[in-house]
Amino acid sequence: MNEVLIEAHGLKRYYHRGSETVKALDGVDIQIRQGEIVAILGPSGSGKTTLINILSCLDAPDAGTLTVAGKSVAGLKEEELVEVRRGVLGFVFQSFSLLPTLTVTENVELPLLFLGLKPDPKRTAELLESVGLTDRATHLPRELSGGQMQRVAIARALMLEPKILVADEPTGNLDKATGEAVIALFKRLAAEQGLAIILTTHNTAFGAEADRIITLEDGKILLSNN
């Protein structure tokens, strides 16, 4: 059985808007295993982004327990959470977030440079090959299509060899065919590398390609097919 990488019980996250209490998460239980793709669906305001931020240690719950890669993260300080994220989590965003003055290769190697580590050209070449961008290594972002930019972002997220890839609306800025190609890439990475992938999407067709679908509504899990 594949290793459990994330386990959460009773997650709650409340916000106060004037005199109103918004229950962004209201008692959520979830488990993410190695090598599976889990799609989190739901309308705007359902709690998708709040949930993914908490599962990826970018935010803390008001109540509940959360274990990431076997480590309880409740009560950890920010510098400790940074270490958890660095060793376990990779991030892909809707906006790509590439630096326009850097080449594809330089963008992919950026996480190493932030840590003061020297890039390994062989490792970079392997990542570019894995996302089908070997022939774009020296190109700038402005010379790429939207799908190619998203694949650069995926390669960059994989540079530090995470166990979990967190993708928040990764196909939101892509057309249907390009979005399908990104989902196909995710499926290959999960199958070949044992990567766990958590993605949020408004696209139910893309969500249906995941191993599991979790549908949120008003901060609660409305439906889960696990």
Per-residue confidence (pLDDT) for residue 226, from 0 to 100: 54
**Residues 52-78 pLDDT 10s:** 999 999 888 999 999 999 999 988 888
Q: How far is CA 109 from CA 51, 128, 129, 152, in A?
A: 29, 11, 14, 10
Which pair of tokens denotes residue 28? 């959520």
- The closest alpha carbon to 157, from 127, 115, 188, 182, belongs to 127
Given a cut of 90, whether residue 169 has pLDDT beyond it is no
Per-residue confidence (pLDDT) for residue 20, from 0 to 100: 87
- The closest alpha carbon to 27, from 222, 226, 225, belongs to 222
Mean predicted confidence (pLDDT) in 103-125:
94
Using CA atoms in the order 87, 108, 100, 153, what is the torsion angle rounded to 10 degrees? -70
DSSP E strand stretches across the chain:
4-17, 20-33, 37-41, 63-68, 71-72, 89-93, 164-168, 196-200, 212-217, 220-224
74, 63 contact by CB (below 8 A)? no
29, 221 contact by CB (below 8 A)? yes
- CATH 3.40.50.300 applies to domain 4-224: yes
pLDDT band for position 177 (cuts 50, 70, 90): confident
Given a cut of 90, whether residue 2 has pLDDT beyond it is no
d(CA 81, CA 58): 8
Mean predicted confidence (pLDDT) in 6-31:
92
- Please, what is the average pLDDT of the chain? 90
Given a cut of 80, whether residue 1 has pLDDT beyond it is no
pLDDT band for position 179 (cuts 50, 70, 90): confident
pLDDT band for position 103 (cuts 50, 70, 90): very high
How many Cα atoms sit within 13 Å of 213 on the Cβ side?
A: 15
- The closest alpha carbon to 131, from 161, 163, 154, belongs to 154
Per-residue confidence (pLDDT) for residue 75, from 0 to 100: 82
Instruction: Report the SS3 class of residue 71.
Output: strand
Q: Please, which residues bridge with residue 15 across strands?
A: 22
